[in-house]
Amino acid sequence: MTGWRMRSYGPSGDDLAELILRDVSAADHPALWAMLEPVFRAGETYAVDTDISREDALGFWCGGNHRAFLAEAGGMGLGSYYICPNQGGGGAHVCNCGFVTAGAAQGRGVARAMLAHALETARASGFHAMQFNFVVESNTRAIALWQAYGFEVVGRLPGAFRHLQKGFIDALVMYRRL
């Protein structure tokens, strides 16, 4: 799947030209951290310590059994996602992913392109389903995108996320078969 290319059109009709999806390398870490840091510091969408270090954040995103991809156009990193088995043993046929879009690239269809690529990658890797374990209910843009791509809300965790602005709100478990 390395070097997978697609044309992607955001909701505004914005043309990303050729958005390339490729494996993250160590050389991409500065660009990746520049995307992750504001998202993690904001504490609005990921259940990650808001003061997480650069090293821990990159380790979380790219380390262990995660495979991480970079979405880039014109040599600029616009987004990234990782894919991994969601459980071990008898649960290893279901994958999990995490997505981040660079602030300046919001609303241009980068997340949609990454999701399409992730679904292809998951199928090619032999996974049977994809699960998001913890989708913060206020993250309505992401929820709408997942639903447009066939994900269903299969669980609701009451008050499971302490949003820095909104206080205790629900998190959703979303799932789709591949």
Out of 12, 26, 88, 140, the residue judged to bind a copy of itself by CB under 8 A: 88
Q: Which stretch binds a copy of itself (CB under 8 A): 27-35, 66-74, 108-116, 133-141?
A: 133-141
In the complex with a copy of itself, which residue's Cβ is closer, 70 or 143? 143
Q: 54-85: string of b/e by CB count within 10 Å (b at 16+)? A: eeebbebbbeeebbbbbbbbeeebbbbbbbeb
84 binds a copy of itself (CB under 8 A): no
C-alpha–C-alpha distance, residues 16 and 27, integer Å:
23
38 binds a copy of itself (CB under 8 A): no
Out of 35, 39, 94, 114, the residue judged to bind a copy of itself by CB under 8 A: 94
Q: Which two tokens stand for residue 53?
A: 């270090």
C-alpha–C-alpha distance, residues 93 and 122, integer Å:
10
| Least distance to a copy of itself, CB of residue 114, Å | 22
In the complex with a copy of itself, which residue's Cβ is closer, 4 or 60? 60
Provide the residue type at 53 as one letter: S
| Least distance to a copy of itself, CB of residue 148, Å | 20
Out of 19, 73, 143, 171, the residue judged to bind a copy of itself by CB under 8 A: 171
Cα torsion angle, 114, 117, 123, 124, sign: negative
